Amino acid sequence: MNRTLIYLAMAGMAIILQTVLLPLVLPGDSKPDLLLILVIYLGLHESPWRGGLLVYLLGWCYDGMAGAFPGLNGFILLGIFLAVRGIVTRVNTESSPLLLLLVTAGTVLQSSLVAFALDFFSQTASIWPQMVWHLPTQLLLNFMAALVLLRFTVWLQRTFVPRGNLPGLRKLDSRYES
């Protein structure tokens, strides 16, 4: 329960950062998708049912702040979560570069799912050209954000709770990599 609340608080912080702070700091309309990084992290470290329900709930919350299609982000984030769960037994989840790779792949999957859901189900104009144009910037921003978050979170844990065991964080610490 505590962990769920922490995840919800982190999601809330991510949404506030993406809607208020990052648009002021970054030029243009692109901003890193911090919620996507959280969903990938959940995919690596949470059980399918608990994580799946939480991710779907996060998607519905995300709908309140992004776009005008209720249920769209629930579908997209759940798709990304299930894709990560699908490969989690076949890869070394204790590697931090894996998280960065998954964030990159997750960004491509996210934009593909957005385009699929809008082009096939809604009456909007095709969003593909816009997506293709913005995808390289989005990939770079998400990658950089994941890298910074990874380093920052590990530093926070080492500094403030060196003996603590936050889920997944010790595994992502480069000291434990061979």
Specify the residue, 123 or 159, whose C-beta has the smaller distance to other proteins: 123
With H, G, I as helix, E, B as strand and everything else as coil, classify residue 29.
coil
Exposure string of 93-122, with b = 16+ CB inside 10 Å and e = fewer, is: bebbebbbebbebbbebbbebbbebbeeee
Question: Which of 20, 92, 162, 175 touches other proteins by CB under 8 A?
Answer: 20
The single-letter code of the amino acid at 60 is: W
| Rounded distance between C-alpha atoms, residue 97 and residue 42, angstroms | 16
Q: Is 139 in the site for other proteins (CB under 8 A)?
A: no
Among 38, 75, 102, 149, binds other proteins (CB under 8 A): 75
| Residue 45 is a binding residue for other proteins (CB under 8 A) | no
Considering only CA atoms, which of 29, 31, 2 is closest in space to residue 15?
Answer: 31
Q: Which stretch binds other proteins (CB under 8 A): 79-87, 95-103, 157-165, 170-178?
A: 79-87
CB of 43 to other proteins, least distance (A): 11
Residue 69 sits in the site that holds other proteins (CB under 8 A): yes
CA angle 112, 118, 124 (to 5 degrees): 135
Q: Please say which residue, 99 or 117, places its beta carbon nearer to other proteins.
A: 117
How distant, in Å, are the alpha carbons of 35, 38, 100, 120 from that of 8? 10, 10, 22, 31
Of the candidate spans 20-28, 93-101, 144-152, 158-166, the one that interacts with other proteins by CB under 8 A turns out to be 20-28
Site residues (vs other proteins, CB under 8 A)? 12, 15-16, 18-21, 23-24, 29-31, 33, 35, 48, 52, 56, 60-75, 78-79, 82, 85-86, 111, 114, 117-118, 121-127, 129-131, 133-134, 138, 141
